[in-house]
Structure 1
Amino acid sequence: MENYQAILIHPDVKGGRISGNLSIKNNCIYFENEELTHQINFINLTINTGGASNRFIFFADKTNTEISIYTSDKKVLKNNLLASNKNFKSEISKSKSDLRKTLKGVLIAIALVGIFITGLYLAKDKMVEKIADQVPASWEKEAGDKLFSTLSLQYKFIKNDSLEKEFLKVAQPLLKQIEKDGFKVDLYFVKDPTINAFALPGGKVIIQTGLIENAKSWEEVMGVVSHELSHVTRRHHIRGIINNLGIFTILSAAFGDVSALAGTFLNVGGELASLSNSRDFEHEADETGWKYLVQAKINPKGLITFFETLSKEEKANEIKSKVDETIDLSFLSTHPNTKDRISALKEKLKGDKSAYIKLPDNFEKFKIELLKQKIN
């Protein structure tokens, strides 16, 4: 004999209802638990669905409408004693139909929720970008200044006004494009053999001597600088922070007041150095950086040739890492494959008939002067 978990509704029970087990025997619906038993004979029995969304099966007593037994276990309708009784055929059929409608409604609701969540996920990037566009540039500058103060204690800065002026003169066409988007660029050189350059929120650009040493031309350096400044103009720093806040906070900011994010962004300012750009942001910076170079009439092919140099460096480091486990290649996991980036940029170069300016031929001299600078 099969038992089904059930609830008895009875006026004599404390609280009006009590849980127990339902079974079917001797032509009656039988309810029992440790405290009491109750039965409804088939001759007085009616079967229907009810409760929240009609998800329960009710066995009611015709002689006393205050008494009924219900269960959520749908297998009870397949019980042989019930299913074989012709008197219940129409009631069981209707109950099954009601349950199917309920299940269909639940599935539709789940599907709609799934579609809504998927829609939110797909629209998330657009919402984040919309929020970032509303954030005052002063917030980013303040966060960038805060971060720069921290970095000043870690890096060995090179101070040489004539080298800085020479660099800015070459970069002027590119910097004009950045300034059109509302950002003022501040340039800094640091003594560090790593092939790297990066931009802080607000427009401060840090160029490491390792980048200049390994670059072959002004075009390559300008390509890297354009890429890094694109992280600033595309608001990648603040978009990265907003991305980490969660979808409901993002929704609230998208349709409300972004000023509530001010404290969050400024408090994170000192930790921005530990936030890596996503692969999507890197691709975006490649695209936008390329656009700035073309607009500045600086040959963007330099960005490709620099990535080719970077690709060779990555291969060398991978080989070294197999011997020396202290070499850290974790940055590769957050950056798009360099070969893929090179391929994407070469596609953009196809059919390019733009006329580009000739940059000064003093790059090697600049490199030598910068590398021999001493730190005070």
Structure 2
Amino acid sequence: MNAEELLARLVSYPTVAGTSNLALMQFIADYLEQFGAQVHLMTGPEGDRANLFATIGDPSVPGFILSGHVDVVPAGEPEWKDDPFEMRHDEDRLIGRGTCDMKGFDAAVLSAVPDLATMALSAPIHIALSYDEEIGCKGVPHMIAALPKLCAAPLGCIVGEPTGLRPVLAHKGKAAMKLWARGVSGHSSRPDQGENAIHALLPVLNAAAHQADTLKSDGQDDRFAPPYSTLQIGVVQGGQAVNIIPDHAQALIEVRGIPGVDPQVLLEPLVESGGPNVKAELISTYPALALPADSGLAQLMTTLTGVAAIGAVSFGTEAGLFQQAGIPSIICGPGDISRAHKPEEYLTRAELSAARNMILNLGQSLAS
């Protein structure tokens, strides 16, 4: 199958984050094994989702990881012109959920495998495909933890999120937290006989708003827009009616920290501001990415793409987690992030082809 056919096949599996991806991963495993790849399917603790790690070449030699996720965001928007899980063609556009974010990169990698398998690689190329990236990078930590048993310490990791195939050196880290409060319901005319759960959350919400303002002057990194760490209250829910004392309330809060700032630390003042009726739970986290511009991986990617690396992007990726594990990491993939998570998401044929060529260039650079 060529890259376009593989992309259509990948899109046809509706692997929405938080749901099973086992059928898709088995298809990919069977495909890779045809070309002699060493394939490891690793089921996560959820039981119905798996990571996949495959190697072309000698796994005992340090090599490079091509990293992608196979989950997608939901596609329930009414603006889709047809089934979002059946790829369509509109001139040069390949339309479907996940074509840009990021099954396009996955398809480019898989389509290059037959050629890579014929090369005498002096260092292996690993393929790392994860699950549930879209809901907090929940799958890839299990795969990263298993890497020491699967291969020699990698020389670098290329995460193929959509960057216009331009290497990217950095992104912010993120942490998200859920807070909830329990109260005692009752008639609103007698608030003295109940406990208002929304009121219990107010000190935390006030602390969050104050923290958001404080972060604007706490640290600056001009590679980012905005150039400081950020905090926002994304969801507040609670109560039933205006004349009922609310017995439940919850809030979802996220922080995004510039490199050098632990996003979880930014949440600590909020937890401390909550009273005895307020509980907190960290629901997702990943660290920032910061690869030096003069690193060997950055220079290699400039050679492979013909494009100089740029400093940073606003969105987050799994690259920070690979970096945290001691693997130099960079972001570089086809498409534009502005098309992701939208109806009529698309990748162009030219972008898909260029990504495949970049991967073949990597193989040729490693061919002995």
TM-score, normalised relative to structure 1 = 0.19
Greater strand fraction, Structure 1 or Structure 2: 2
- Return the structure number with greater helix share: 1
Higher relative contact order (CA 8 A, sep 6+): 2
Q: TM-score, normalised by structure 2?
A: 0.20
Structure number with larger C-alpha Rg: 1
